[in-house]
């Protein structure tokens, strides 16, 4: 039977899915919000987004490993009960049993699926050969390189011949060259239409990787995780990392992501009364970014920074947003440029740096209001709960505890306020003449 003209079959799907985590004390962390995503037959779907945006959670919900708080999970159009049996996983961490040989690692997975003994041996041998590990059947994981360990991980997943292969950051722990070959090999296994896996769903924060692999790229927003946009990738296969088409799409995704995470906030005339959300980057990270920019002549492309400093771009963008909020950098398009204030900071002595940082903090409403509250309080200090309430009321969509942690980090970094974890009290630091 041919189905050339019909819509592709939908293998699994989430509809209007939310996921909340209870943080205790009535606080709830919303990790996913309103996720709609269908995995069709014969496609590679990639979930792309910064760390913590909920990519793995989406995989786990589709697989039936985690229940959504709201919404539906379907397996071939039917509500999913328990685990989805059609999914094989490849994890970032390889997840191998160190006391078992390569063969036993693969066989144990098949045995767990209650396959007959002869079939276990036959499937394991075939999968090990497929991933190029013939001759290493009796080796132990400790004797293998990272790339070879991941080949065992892939053999385990392939040996199950699952309808869908789910891969969670599968190549982020192997060197770049090995990652390139592993990607190509996974696609070779996926390509024949008459064989499983029919479809692949992968999680990645590597833009080049997803453009190389995927037919559809689901770009996610963080806090809470939402589908920002879905980009169709019709580049012909096999793909070449250096082809103009691929580089163009990489560029477009860069723009989508930076557009998402580096909003050029419209300047409000006069004093804005809105609290600014604090990007959760530590003072040391902000300082590191400024020093890096200074060493690069004052400007650099944000993705170049991530590559150079071996950071995830999500992290670099957060540090950049923090530095921008404090007036240390500007971000025209994708470039991060040291501002005059940023340059002043880098050139200053350690003590002067603290003073500049403090000055910048006191341009933010949250820090001003805490300073004013401390001045008014007879005790010369305020409680953690007071600051939390201030944050919760003025930044209702932010995670107020994370914001408080960043507030404390910055205040300490600039010697503005101290915070005592035991008494949960925020007080002026010695450097800060708050009472004056
Ligand atoms: P990603 O894969 O995009 O890095 P995850 O899906 O792993 O993101 O996590 C999304 C968010 O959910 C993170 O903020 C993480 O801390 C939170 N999270 C994940 N699992 C749990 C859990 N069991 N309890 C509480 N929070 C969780």
Protein residue with least CA distance to atom 6, ligand 1: 54
Ligand 1 centroid–CA 204 distance in Å is 15
The CATH number that domain 10-258 falls under is: 3.40.50.300
Q: For 255-264, what is each residue's pLDDT tens digit?
A: 888 776 554 3
Protein residue with least CA distance to atom 13, ligand 1: 52
Q: Which residue ranges make up each domain of the chain?
A: 10-258, 359-428
Protein residue with least CA distance to atom 15, ligand 1: 52
Q: Is 149 close to ligand 1, i.e. is its CB under 6 Å away?
A: no
Banded pLDDT at 268 (limits 50, 70, 90): very low
Ligand 1 centroid–CA 52 distance in Å is 6
Q: For 105-130, what is each residue's pLDDT tens digit?
A: 999 989 988 889 999 999 999 999 99
Residue 131 in this model has a pLDDT that exceeds 90: yes
Residue 51 in this model has a pLDDT that exceeds 90: no
Q: Is 51 close to ligand 1, i.e. is its CB under 6 Å away?
A: yes
Which atom of ligand 1 approaches the CA of 220 most closely? 3
Protein residue with least CA distance to atom 12, ligand 1: 31
Per-residue pLDDT at 64: 94
Ligand 1 pocket mutation, candidates 28, 30, 57, 60, criterion most atoms within 8 A of CB: 57
375-410: buried (b, 16+ CB within 10 Å) or exposed (e) per residue? eeeeeebbebebbbebbbebbeebbbbebbebbbbb
Q: Is 52 close to ligand 1, i.e. is its CB under 6 Å away?
A: yes
Q: Is 58 close to ligand 1, i.e. is its CB under 6 Å away?
A: no
Q: Is 54 close to ligand 1, i.e. is its CB under 6 Å away?
A: yes
Give the separation between CA 176 and CA 174, rounded to whole angstroms: 7
Task: Calculate the average pLDDT of the chain.
Answer: 90
State the pTM of this model: 0.67
Q: For 159-168, what is each residue's pLDDT tens digit?
A: 999 999 999 9
């Amino acid at each position: 039977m041919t189905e050339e003209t019909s819509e592709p079959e939908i293998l699994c799907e989430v509809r209007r899915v939310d996921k909340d985590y209870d943080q205790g004390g009535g606080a709830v962390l919303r990790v996913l919000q309103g996720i709609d995503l269908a995995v069709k037959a014969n496609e590679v779907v990639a979930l792309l987004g910064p760390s913590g945006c909920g990519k793995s959670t989406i995989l786990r919900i589709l697989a039936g490993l985690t229940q959504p708080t709201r919404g539906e999970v379907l397996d071939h159009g039917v509500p999913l009960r328990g685990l989805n049996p059609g999914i094989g996983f490849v994890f970032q961490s390889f997840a191998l049993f160190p006391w078992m040989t390569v063969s036993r690692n693969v066989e144990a997975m098949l045995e767990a699926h209650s396959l007959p003994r002869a079939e276990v041996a036959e499937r394991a041998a075939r999968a090990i050969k497929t991933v190029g590990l013939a001759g290493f059947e009796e080796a132990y994981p400790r004797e293998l390189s990272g790339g070879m360990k991941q080949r065992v991980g892939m053999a385990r997943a392939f040996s199950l011949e699952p309808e869908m292969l789910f891969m969670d950051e599968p190549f982020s722990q192997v060197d770049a060259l090995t990652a390139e070959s592993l990607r190509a090999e996974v696609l070779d296994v996926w390509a024949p239409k008459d064989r499983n896996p029919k479809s692949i769903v992968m999680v990645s924060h590597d833009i080049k990787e997803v453009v190389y692999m995927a037919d559809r790229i689901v770009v996610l927003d963080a806090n809470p995780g939402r589908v920002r946009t879905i980009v169709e990738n019709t580049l012909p296969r096999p793909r070449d990392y250096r082809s103009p088409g691929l580089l163009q799409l990489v560029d477009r995704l860069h723009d989508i992501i930076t557009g998402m995470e580096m909003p050029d906030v419209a300047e409000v005339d006069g004093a804005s009364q809105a609290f600014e959300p604090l990007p959760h980057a530590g003072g040391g990270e902000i300082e590191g970014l400024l020093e890096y920019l200074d060493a690069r002549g004052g400007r650099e492309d944000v993705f170049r920074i991530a590559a150079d400093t071996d950071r995830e771009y999500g992290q670099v963008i957060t540090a950049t947003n923090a530095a921008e909020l404090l007036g240390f950098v500007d971000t025209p398009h994708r470039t991060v440029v040291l501002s005059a204030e940023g340059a002043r900071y880098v050139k200053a002595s350690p003590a002067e740096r603290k003073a500049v940082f403090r000055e910048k903090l006191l341009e933010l409403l949250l820090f001003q209001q805490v300073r004013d509250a401390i001045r008014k309080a007879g005790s010369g200090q305020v409680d953690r709960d007071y600051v939390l309430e201030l944050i919760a009321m003025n930044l209702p969509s932010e995670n107020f505890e994370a914001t408080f942690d960043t507030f404390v980090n910055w205040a300490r970094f600039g010697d503005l306020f101290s915070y005592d974890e035991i008494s949960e009290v925020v007080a002026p630091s010695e450097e800060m003449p708050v009472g004056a």
